Structure 1
């Protein structure tokens, strides 16, 4: 490779640059720099250099290292722009140190576990404090009917409840049909396909109805709460409300909390009915169980199982609403923060719902309820 092709030549300790040191010639320049050693260079000459960009300056840095900064300051033949570019690249790269290569140790895993536990504990404290603040604000407004936000409450009930009816009904209908089909497949080996009706009824009344509905609303409504409040914080609308003497908790959080508290039990009941209807359809088409017979078996299920499922709904509604609103208030003021906290609210809501449902199932089973 000639001096012109590789873009440089060395003359009595002076590195003479020539031609174009740009991104388009990066490959050939990089290959031509293999024989260049930083210790052999005492000066820099750019009189034959035609063009230079950050790609070419970066190549010089990787070959010459920190000495590029001093060489550029005493260089000859460089234009003011070329010298400024080399100084900027050398100055920026000089502050970088190679990332240390460290081996993973068991103590690193313990450290991360400790960080996760501390983060979970801090989030629990924030949620508890936010719950107390919301309850105290709600009790303060209880005897002040003029400050009730009925329009906001109805609007949130429409958004959280009525608009969610189709997806809740469709999903639970399909899950009910799947549970009935799987139950019939297994119970057919024992000649007890009639008990498929009991399987669907018990599972949806106690667990599936409220659990599926809560998970759907955790992904649909909690994320909406976080995104709405987070966007308001980004655009400083929350600060504007406080400047006008309005309480964001009373104005924004309480209507959402009450709307979810009222609509989640109703959606849970719709989910139970849809799941039972899906099981009835499978029973009619695959098991030859007449609708009248199916309904008669469902009516024999004790009412307490339905009450257990509906009783979990208000607790799940409160937690989903509070987590969604709290994450919205924690947004720091950028679009990236809105996305991060929206994801966090969905994950936290689903995790809390499943965790509390498992604890409640174990407790109720031990109590014989």
Structure 2
């Protein structure tokens, strides 16, 4: 039977010395806290040599008593001293609301945090891109490691299943370009130049760019959500445990599908947009379809088609890598899946638009105007 907590008070030169003894666990404290509160007068030392056991509640009572009287603790074991020090840290008041900071400093702090996160993300994307290249080279050297069924399934999801929505979007965009262009060109009596506008703008820029945005929102988000859920349920860790590479089994089929399907989808979107522009020209401008097609063949150089087809696989690579990278960064909880999915779409669209601007300057510089 362990002795209950107790203490003795000694007076020396009007200064009390309190000697503690017994078990200072919560079940053995009894009326000790009330009796300690009744101690009056200055207390110089608190001797803990007789304490046989102590828990958090007991440590808090001793700390509170010593702090109230400004007494010095003596004779405590290492564990007891460490426990008392820890409960003492929690005594500091906690503010319910953070202290208000100057608006300028707060804005600068948010800009700095956003810059740091952007830098870390770009560094991570570059590292993931390098890992993707290494895996691709390994699969080129060992073609038997290519998961054909997974690639075919991703080709269907990324490409075939997206034909309807991309076709509808492209058809409407072609109509909008033709309608808005004809309104402006009518002021100069050049409605026929609407065909030039539709043809060149569609093949060179909007066909591939709008397709990339649609694929990023549709497939890039799916990549991030799928891999994020697998990461959350520890399926990816299980794959590593049994010797299956997630890069080969999960990432590369998605990358291959996006790179292969983006040029096809981009060309398909451009053709459908041309059909939409031709439809409006026939209805609103009385330009026969035969004349429209003949004019398209005259004014659209083959280099415009090359420009779109060169950009498309790069955009597909960026979308797939961004989606897979963000999906593999998921940790902790389900909310992270939504956050990473949103980040994948936003970052993919942003990088695609930046690269599109770079390509526009580059192809102009090399003379493909």
Q: Shorter-chain TM-score category?
A: 0.7 to 0.9
Report the TM-score when normalising by structure 1: 0.73
RMSD after superposition: 1.7
Q: By how many angstroms is 1:334 displaced?
A: 1.5
Q: By how many angstroms is 1:358 displaced?
A: 1.6
| 1:154 aligns with one of 138, 152, 155 | 152
Distance 1:103 1:96, change over 3 A: closer
Task: Map residues 170-249 of structure 1 onto 2, 5 A cutoff.
Answer: 170-249=168-247
Alignment pair present for 1:329 and 2:320: no
For residues 101 and 121 of structure 2, the distance between their equivalents in structure 1, rounded to whole angstroms, comes to: 31
For residues 145 and 179 of structure 1, the distance between their equivalents in structure 2, rounded to whole angstroms, comes to: 45
Instruction: Single out whichever of 265-274 and 135-144 deviates more from structure 2.
Output: 135-144
Q: Give structure 2 stretches of 5+ with no counterpart.
A: 1-89
SS at structure 2 position matched to 1:170: helix
Alignment pair present for 1:122 and 2:101: no
For residues 326 and 95 of structure 1, the distance between their equivalents in structure 2, rounded to whole angstroms, comes to: 42
For residues 333 and 152 of structure 1, the distance between their equivalents in structure 2, rounded to whole angstroms, comes to: 28
Distance 1:110 1:149, change over 3 A: same
For residues 291 and 265 of structure 1, the distance between their equivalents in structure 2, rounded to whole angstroms, comes to: 26
SS at structure 2 position matched to 1:194: helix
Superimposed CA distance per residue, residues 277-303 of structure 1 (whole angstroms, 9 cap, x where no aligned partner): 000000100111111100001111110
> Corresponding residue for 1:357?
356
For residues 166 and 211 of structure 1, the distance between their equivalents in structure 2, rounded to whole angstroms, comes to: 17
> Corresponding residue for 1:35?
none
Moved over 3 A (4+): none
Q: By how many angstroms is 1:108 displaced?
A: 2.6
For residues 147 and 367 of structure 1, the distance between their equivalents in structure 2, rounded to whole angstroms, comes to: 39
> Corresponding residue for 2:141?
143
Instruction: Single out whichever of 267-276 and 114-123 deviates more from structure 2.
Output: 114-123
> Corresponding residue for 1:105?
103
Q: By how many angstroms is 1:105 displaced?
A: 3.1
Task: Map residues 60-75 of structure 1 onto 2, 5 A cutoff.
Answer: none
SS at structure 2 position matched to 1:259: helix
Alignment pair present for 1:295 and 2:288: no
The 8 Å contact of residues 169 and 274 in structure 1, kept in 2 or not, is answered as yes
Distance 1:100 1:321, change over 3 A: closer
Report the TM-score when normalising by structure 2: 0.73
The 8 Å contact of residues 168 and 213 in structure 1, kept in 2 or not, is answered as yes
Q: By how many angstroms is 1:101 displaced?
A: 4.8
SS at structure 2 position matched to 1:99: coil
For residues 274 and 217 of structure 1, the distance between their equivalents in structure 2, rounded to whole angstroms, comes to: 16
Q: Give structure 1 stretches of 5+ with no counterpart.
A: 1-91
> Corresponding residue for 2:266?
268
> Corresponding residue for 2:309?
310
Q: By how many angstroms is 1:363 displaced?
A: 2.8
Superimposed CA distance per residue, residues 55-77 of structure 1 (whole angstroms, 9 cap, x where no aligned partner): xxxxxxxxxxxxxxxxxxxxxxx
Q: By how many angstroms is 1:102 displaced?
A: 1.9
